[in-house]
A and B are shown apart, each in its own frame.
Chain A
């Protein structure tokens, strides 16, 4: 195919994107090699300046690269604060001469990481980390006081091994990871260039994903023979694929839920009057749900009506002739697709029932309410996918004591062995000096 110019351009995009990361790494290495303790040539102010410059460039790059319009200003602010606390504490630990102050800086860093755990919906992890590391830090602190009572400068605190090469190793690693993250982010030009540079891999993925969808195998095969997709479309598709439920879909489902909750008022009074208005109300619900999950029946032309959800997560886009790779095949997506199918079936059934009831001679209020509740239940379940379970702690305990029971037991034994081992290692034998 026409691979040569495309590969060259993707290479240049990749090289362009590595610029800021490389600059950050170089600045961090310079700062670190100035700051690390040594008898001569330590340049603290220069090192701090280099690090601050690196952090500023990194922050700007991160914002440019992954920053979105702030829909969650408080969350973003808290994230920035906690992340800065974690990184500042870690940096102080690395360059601090006094190990006792280093231990305190490490505790500060742990607090920052715990804040990030909270933001990531892991309150139990936060508690565990604080308890375990607070204990560990106090013990370490005692060790520091006990063992390092040296007068003035000492070999262990005021010298570093290979400050330049060591920092280069550490920060080059971090920079490489950042650059890989940059390349692997969906919805980016260089990322899609990366993907098109390896068409074999992509079509293989497509073939694997096609198994999920039963009826579309023919289309997948066609798209495979077509080869590469236009980059822009793939990029846009990737961006849309990021979330399992987009905001628009969420709003539509919530609007449908709101209308279902109004059913009491709509169905008030004699059911034999105002039939048109009532059916219209529920038809709006049906249309909203159809827009998201699609319809269970075909339209006049005999083609299946697909909602935005299944189009986004499962099906190839017919209109543009470009097939989107479904790159998320995790249980969450599988669950939401299954739930969407359930909603699609229920939606159709419920609307038929409601329409039939309202048009019949003697509408039964009980049947209507039962049907509405059935649809409402499925809709709430669909909305609930894509969120963390609300009771994270009990869910965590459930997973640990059901699926990972053996590992939990093994960890307990390991802790016991470590305790015994620590006593055995540290005990003083008869006749030993010290």
Chain B
């Protein structure tokens, strides 16, 4: 039979996974999703305790947590957009000049491998949108 402790264990592991991802990953979007994963672990704890005590209060807290997570998502994505406009990258280490005083800067020792031919092909090149078509008179007449 499934008891409270099983649900608490799953919630703890979800939180641990999210914490690991948040600490190690460098893509801002992945970090954001890992933070949401931690929230899910906590929400699971609340729901399990609500079930265990046969009360609604735990579920009320989960609803508040979901609402706060939605507000957080809106602000976080807006901030990511601003950061991307400035640095042209989603890498959080670009902003490491904001770190605490006295902490050495992170350096990446290994160079990145060059992109393979398949990866090069994967990139979709979209034509620029919203530009005035550069049509000369001659072509126009020729077209007609």
Residues of chain A having any CB pair with chain B under 8 Å: 32, 36, 38-40, 58, 62, 65-66, 68-72, 75-76, 79, 83, 86-87, 90-91, 93-94, 96, 99, 102-103, 106, 109-110, 113, 116-117, 119-122, 124-125, 128-129, 132-133, 136, 139-140, 143-144, 147-149, 151-163, 166-167, 169-171, 173-175, 177-178, 181, 185, 330-332, 385-389, 392, 395-396, 398-400, 404, 407, 411, 414-415, 417-419, 421-423, 425-426, 428, 432-434
Contacts and interface: CB of A to CB of B under 8 A. Distances in A.
* Cβ-closest 3 pairs across A and B: A152-B115, A174-B16, A170-B20
Nearest to A407: B64
B1 A72 contact: yes
7 contacts: A122-B59, A156-B91, A159-B108, A332-B53, A407-B64, A418-B71, A426-B82
Select the residue from A102, A330, A385 with max chain B CB neighbours within 10 A.
A102
Given A79-B2, A120-B51, A122-B47, 10 more contacts: A94-B17, A117-B47, A147-B84, A151-B123, A153-B113, A178-B13, A181-B12, A332-B54, A415-B70, A422-B77
Contacts of B62: 122, 125
Contact of B29 (A99, A120, A163, A166): A99
A83 B6 CA distance: 9
Contact of B24 (A125, A161, A178): A161
For chain B, the bracket of interface size reads 35 or more
B21 A93 contact: yes
A132 B120 contact: no
A161 B5 CA distance: 33
A140 B23 contact: no
Contacts of B16: 170-171, 173-175, 177
Interface in B65-94: 66-75, 77-82, 84-86, 89-93
Contacts of A91: 17
B63 A162 contact: no
Contact of B20 (A32, A69, A70, A411): A32
Contacts of B1: 68-72, 75-76
